[in-house]
Amino acid sequence: MATVARAVLSRGAPGPVPAPGRLVHLDNLKVVLIAAIIAIHGVLGYTDTGWWSYGDAREVTLSPVSTGVLMAVVGPVSLLLIPLLFLVAGLLTAPAVERKGPGRFARDRLLRLGVPFVVYVAVIQPPVVYAVDHRWGNAYGSYWDEFLGSDGQPDAGPLWFVGALLVFSLVYAGWVAVRPAPATRLSAPIGARPLGVAAAAIVLPTFLVRLAWPLGSESLTDLNLWEWPACITLFGLGVVASRRGWAREVPAELQHRCRTATLAAAGALLAVAGTTLGLGVDGEELLGGAHWAALGFVACESVIAVLGAVWVLGLTQRFDRAYRWTAPLARTSYTAFVVQTPVLLGAAVALRPLGAPAEVKAVLVAAISVAAAFGLAELLRRAGRVLAR
C-alpha cells in the first residue's frame, strides 16, 4: 500500500495499475452505480413515497414540483440501476464458478454475501432504523414489533440485493454442479431481437407479481419480489453473455440499437405516467394492480431494464482510464453499499436542525452520504487489515 501511495504521489506517476485480467470499466461502473443508489436513497428520504427509511421521520418534504422533476428525471434511470448490477454480477459469476468450481464458489458466496446479509438484517438495520423512527417517526410499537415490521418479517433494507444475489448465485452453482457447462467461448452473438424477447418475457411475470406486491411495497421475504423477474433475467443474461465476451466488449451495433430502444421506452414511460395522472387515475396504479397503467408501466420498465442495462454496460466500456481515481473506491464499493443505511440516516439526523428547504437538505444528505459511506468503508478495510496481521 505504501509503495502504491509513493508511486501515485511521485512526479509523472501513472497511478495504480489494475491487476492482470481485472476489468477496469466494471470497477468504474460498480462505483458509479453504488454512489448513485446511495444518492437516490438520500433524496427519497425527503419524499412521501415511503421508499426510504427516513421518509417517515422527515422534517421537511420536497415540493410537488421537485418531486415531479425527480420522478421524471431520476425515475427512468433508477429502473435500470439494479438490473444493471445483476447483469454485471452474472458476467462475473460464470467465470468465477468455472475458475473455482461450484463447491468452492458456493462457500465463498455464503461468506461474502450470506454473512454480511445476516449481520446487517439482524444487527445493523433494526436498531438504527428504530432509533430514528422512535424519536421522530411513527415507531409506536415495541422494538420487537419494529424489528419484524408490518409483515412479520425482518427488514432487509437495501441489502435485499445481496440476499437475492446470494440465492441466484447458489442456484447457478448448483446447476453447474449437476450440468457442467463447456469451458469455451461461444461465437454466436446475442442480437437485439433476443434482448427484445427477454424484455417481453419479463412483462407478464412482473405484472402478475405486482398484483400481490406493488413496486416499493413490503413483499414476502422482504427481498423485493416485485423486481425479481427482471433481476433473474439480467443475471441469466450476464451468465450467457459472459461466454460471448460481453464483460470486455458489447458489440457497437447492439449498443446503438439498445440506446434507441431505451430512450424510446423512457419517453413512453413518461407518457404513460403523464396520461395516467392526466386522466385523474391514482398514481399508485402505476406501481401495481389490475390496471392498464400498471401494465403499461411494466412494459416500458422491462425494456429499460434489459436493453438499457446492455446499453450502459457497453457505454462504460469506453471509459477505462480513470483507474487512478476509482481504484480506491472500487475496492470498498461493496462495503459502502452495506453501510449506507446508518450513514444516510446519520447524515439526515445531523442536518435536522438546519433551517433549509427539503431540496437543499436532500442534495446535502446525498452528497455527504456518498462521501461518508466510501470513507467509512475504507476505514473498515484498513482496520480489517490491521486486525488480520
pLDDT at 149: 59
Contacts of 297 (CB under 8 A, 6+ apart): 269, 272, 273, 286, 287
In a domain, 13, yes or no: no
Q: What is the mean pLDDT of residues 359-371?
A: 96
**Winning range, highest mean pLDDT, from 69-78, 127-136, 290-299, 317-326:** 290-299
Q: Is there a domain that residue 118 lies in? A: yes
User: For residue 291, what pLDDT is reported?
Assistant: 92
pLDDT confidence of residue 182:
61
Give residue 72's pLDDT: 83
Q: What is the mean pLDDT of residues 199-227?
A: 90
Range of lowest pLDDT (172-176, 244-248, 371-375): 244-248
Alpha-carbon gap, residue 355 to 353, rounded angstroms: 6
Amino acid 181: pLDDT: 64
- Domain of residue 71 covers 21-180+193-388
Hey, what's the torsion of the CAs at 225, 67, 376, 384, to 10 degrees? 10
The tally of domains found in the chain comes to 1
- The reported pLDDT for the residue numbered 177 is 92
Cell numbers 473455482 correspond to: 100
Please report whether residue 285 resides in a domain.
Answer: yes
- Averaged pLDDT, 240-248: 90
Q: How confident is the model at residue 151 (pLDDT cuts 50, 70, 90)?
A: low
Q: What pLDDT was estimated at residue 1?
A: 38
Question: Is 188 a member of any domain?
Answer: no
On whether residue 12 sits in a domain, the answer given is no
What average pLDDT does the segment 71-90 reach? 90
Asked if pLDDT for residue 192 goes beyond 70, the answer is yes
pLDDT, residue 254, reads 93
**pLDDT score for 25:** 83
Res. 3 pLDDT band, cuts 50 70 90: very low
pLDDT for 6 equals: 39
Q: What digits encode the pLDDT tens for the residues 100-150?
A: 999 999 999 999 999 999 999 888 888 888 888 777 766 656 666 666 655
For residue 231, name the pLDDT band (cuts at 50, 70, 90).
very high
The model's confidence at residue 304, banded by pLDDT at 50, 70 and 90, is very high
Report the alpha-carbon distance of residue 38 to residue 375 in Å, rounded.
13
Rounded to 5°, angle at Cα 356 from 368 and 375: 5
Is the pLDDT at 187 greater than 70, yes or no?
A: no
Give pLDDT tens digits for 28-63: 889 999 999 999 999 999 998 878 888 888 999 999
Average pLDDT, the chain: 85
pTM of the model: 0.88
Neighbours of 260 (CB within 10 A): 13
> What was the pLDDT predicted at 365?
96
| pLDDT value of residue 128 | 86
**pLDDT given for residue 186 in this prediction:** 59
Q: What contacts 87, CB < 8 A, 6 or more positions away?
A: 234, 235, 237, 238, 241, 309, 310, 313
pLDDT reported for residue 321: 56
Overall residue count recorded for the chain in this entry: 389
Is residue 223 situated within a structural domain?
yes
Asked, for residue 7, whether it belongs to a domain, the answer is no
**Given this model, what pLDDT does residue 28 score?**
86
Q: For residue 10, what pLDDT is reported?
A: 37
